[in-house]
Amino acid sequence: MIGLKKIGMAVAMAATVLTGGIAHAQNSMSDPARAGYYDNLKGKRVVFVPVFMGLDLTEGWSKMMSRQADKLGYKYEVRNSNFNTAAGAQTITSLITEKPDVIVVQNPDVQSYAKLLAKAEKAGIHVIQLNMKTNVLTTGFVGADVEELGELQAKEVVAHCGSGTSGKVLVLAGPPSSPFSAYMLKGYENILNKSPEVKVVSVQSTGDYESAKAKSITQVVLQQHPDLCGVLGVWDNTDVGTAAAVKEAGKSGQVFVSSSGGGGELACKGIEEGMWQHYVSYDVPGQARDLNNLILAALQDKNPVGTTKTILYTPLVIYNKDNIKNQFCWTLDTIR
């Protein structure tokens, strides 16, 4: 009996609260967090130090970062290091004295900036590393898990170059100490070491991701191994050269090329025109959103710099002939 009474009371109370709530919802009310949020962001400063502007990747990220900065009223600048590691290091050194609130940095290799980035954090600047990672962890990292990327590529090539084929594979890497060489080769090894049927005939660096170099290496290797089965390419812009070599040798369709990149229009064109048969995208628009969120988190963080360290590995997307129609082949104009 008592139980029933209690339920009755609860129902009555709930009804009162509900009607009260409805009555209240008709009045306007301000979000108490809002004003503080916007005021806090005003006048803050974010600086992007890319390896090189003018690439679909860096231009895509930068466009989204600057758009958010404009909307929220903080300052956003780009300091291009123009493929010059020394210049990049100098930029970061001078930024440490300039003290912006956040530095977003794309590392040319796994070591060069490491100490400087730690120093910047010690000086109270949040450092967010973008897609290319050093061996130290800072406030944040947004980008592909390159080892996983390598594994995805290698798995597909292994599946394609199993029994019944020559099993010969060419590996085209980037600059030797770049994360996209070092970590990627680790990913390849994880899979290839378990696949005795696949034989790596050559591992060569394409220098600074030069397509001309990728082309000449592929030509030489195709000459030595006309029955080459697969190529593990490093980046779509570089593999334009790889694809040209395969096409000129008349081996289109025979050589299975796997590439990777930001998943933009070139990625889709490559699949559609048969330049590469498999492509792992690290989805630049998605990365840019992660990046913007991490920037906002850093700008709102009241703790000492370096207390939280967040890694956001980008969900990777596979492009191939079967699913290419469903992909968002972004361009700078269509990026959202």
Partner 1 sequence: MSGTELNGGGQAEAVAKAGPAGGASFLKGVAFDQQMIVLLLFAAIFLAFSLLLPGFFTVGNLLTLMRTVSVLGILGLGMAVVVIGRGIDLSMIASLAVPSAVVLMLASKDYGIATSLLCGVSLAVAIGVLNGFLVAYAEIPSLFTTLAVGIGIAGIGQSGLFEYEIVPWPAQLAAISWIGQGSLLGIPYSVLAFIAAAIIVGIFMRKTRLGAFIYASGDNPNAARIAGIPVRPILMLQYIIAGLVAMFAGLVLSASSSSMDTRIFNLTWIYDVILVVVLGGIGLSGGRGGVINVIIGTLLIGTIVNGMTIMNVSFEMQNLIKGVVLLAALSIDSIVNPRNEETAQQGDI
The CB density around residue 249, as the number of other CB atoms within 10 Å, is: 16
- What track of x and - describes contact with partner 1 for positions 243 through 282 (by CB under 8 A)? xx---x-----------------x----------------
Q: Which helix (H) or strand (E) holds 94?
A: helix 85-98
Q: How far is the CB of 32 from partner 1 (least distance, A)?
A: 44
- What track of x and - describes contact with partner 1 for positions 204 through 233 (by CB under 8 A)? xx-xx-xxx-xxxx-xxx-xx---------
Q: How far is the CB of 110 from partner 1 (least distance, A)?
A: 15
Residues 6+ apart with CB under 8 A from 218: 170, 172, 231, 241, 242, 245, 246
- Residues 57-86 interacting with partner 1 (rule: CB under 8 A): 59, 82-84
Segment near partner 1 (CB under 8 A); pick from 67-75, 133-141, 240-248, 312-320: 240-248
Q: How far is the CB of 181 from partner 1 (least distance, A)?
A: 9
Closer residue to partner 1 (CB): 141 or 209:
209
Tally the residues of the chain: 336
Closer residue to partner 1 (CB): 138 or 218:
218
Closer residue to partner 1 (CB): 185 or 316:
185
Closer residue to partner 1 (CB): 323 or 331:
331
Which amino acid appears at position 48 of this protein?
F
Inter-residue contact 75 to 46 (CB < 8 Å): yes
Inter-residue contact 258 to 230 (CB < 8 Å): yes
* Separation of alpha carbons 169 and 183, rounded Å: 18
Task: Kindly list the distances between the CA atom of residue 229 and the CA atoms of 110, 168, 169, 192, 222, in Å, as whole numbers in the listed order.
Answer: 31, 5, 6, 14, 10
3-class DSSP assignment, residue 1: coil
Closer residue to partner 1 (CB): 201 or 297:
201
Task: Kindly list the distances between the CA atom of residue 23 and the CA atoms of 12, 20, 26, 101, 303, in Å, as whole numbers in the listed order.
Answer: 17, 5, 6, 44, 40
Report the residue from 40, 202, 310, 320 that binds partner 1 according to the rule CB under 8 A: 202
Buried-state track 93-124, b at ≥16 Cβ within 10 A, e below 16: eebbeeebbbbbbbbbbbebbbebbbebbeee
Q: Are strands 140-143 and 168-173 parallel, antiparallel or unpaired?
A: unpaired
Q: How far is the CB of 171 from partner 1 (least distance, A)?
A: 10
89 sits near partner 1 (criterion: CB under 8 A): no
- What track of x and - describes contact with partner 1 for positions 156 through 175 (by CB under 8 A)? -------------------x
Segment near partner 1 (CB under 8 A); pick from 17-25, 149-157, 195-203, 311-319: 195-203
- What track of x and - describes contact with partner 1 for positions 305 through 334 (by CB under 8 A)? ---------------------------x--
Closer residue to partner 1 (CB): 98 or 248:
248
Nearest CA among 197, 201, 191 for reference residue 156: 191
Contact residues for partner 1 (CB under 8 A)?
Answer: 52-56, 59, 82-84, 175-176, 201-205, 207-208, 210-212, 214-217, 219-221, 223-224, 237, 240-241, 243-244, 248, 266, 332
